[in-house]
Amino acid sequence: MNWFVLSLACAYFMSTSELFSKLLMRDNDEWTIGCGMVLTSLTFLVPLLIGLDSFPLSRDLIVLMAIQIPFEILAYYIYLSAIRMAPLSLSVPYLSFTPVFAILTAALLLQERISFQGLLGILIVTVGAYVLNIERFVQHPLAPFKAIFKSPGSRRMLVVAIIWSLTSTLGKKGVQLSDPLFFGIFYTISVSVPMLAIAGWRIKRRVATVNLKGRNLIWLALGGLVMAMATLTHFHAIQLAPVSYMIAVKRTSLIFSVLYGGLIFKEAHIRLRLLGASIMLSGAVMLYLS
């Protein structure tokens, strides 16, 4: 299948998993839902291993995962907490800052020069972030920028963007060391083990919030299914295309998430946030392709 179609499908599945995560976190905490979503996705992914001729597991792959997984688990927890505490339309778009941080990190640590297109992309993403909070303009011209750091959901999603800017290429390396299907499943299993341990410890200590009955159980099943589809489409697409191209298309998930925020959760100022997210997306695409 074409990498563009796979990347677009991945964007849709990713935003839909965010929708189910937010619905579930009305009655559950982040660790419960993070663990539940990952484990449920495995029920759809693991049977696919039966069709593999071999399991391309190597020492290099294990070392790569040992480096990547702690950062991914931390980012996933912060990502879920941001979705829980803030509107989807006001938190998810800040993932557009991932390429911004990647370029700035390369400039600081590797002395790479920032191109004019890169600077323009950073400016566009920043303008989009301003537009997301532009209803605060009546308070003060700088109020939309201050709102980014006052909102805990926005702050946390910026931290996620920083972590993912550092780990964004490790997934491509993992696919190169194995194959998309095996790596996607192995990656999910590797994430599930420590998350299950943490969630189990929290339940044992009675500090977890758990309510997986009734409609929550249905949402969990659907959430696990779309997460499994997001995993499969992500790693297949990233094998077929340069990382920058694939991630640029995948970031259209921002638009889907804003639309879910307006349609499902009736979030305020949805037109302005859709405009802001669209501006940020265009800047992110420019950065990824620079």
- State pLDDT tens for residues 132-191: 777 766 565 666 677 777 788 889 999 998 898 887 777 778 888 888 888 888 899 999
Average pLDDT, the chain: 86
CA nearest 235: which of 222, 249, 223, 246? 246
Q: What is the pLDDT of residues 184-220, one digit of tens each?
A: 888 999 999 999 999 999 999 999 999 999 999 999 9
Helices (H), the chain: 3-24, 30-45, 59-85, 88-91, 98-109, 116-132, 143-150, 152-167, 170-177, 180-204, 215-240, 243-250, 253-263, 270-288
CA atoms of 167 and 162, how far apart (whole Å): 9
pLDDT the model gives residue 23:
96
Q: How many domains does the chain have?
A: 1
Instruction: Quickly tell me which residue has 């532009």 as its tokens.
Output: 134
Q: Name which of 109, 243, 100, 103 is nearest 173 in CA terms.
A: 243
267 neighbors 261 (Cβ within 8 angstroms) = yes
Q: Which domain holds residue 278?
A: 3-288
- Of the listed ranges 110-124, 134-148, 248-262, the least confidently predicted one is 134-148
Distance CA 231, CA 240 (A): 15
Residues with Cβ within 8 Å of residue 12, at least 6 apart in sequence: 253, 256
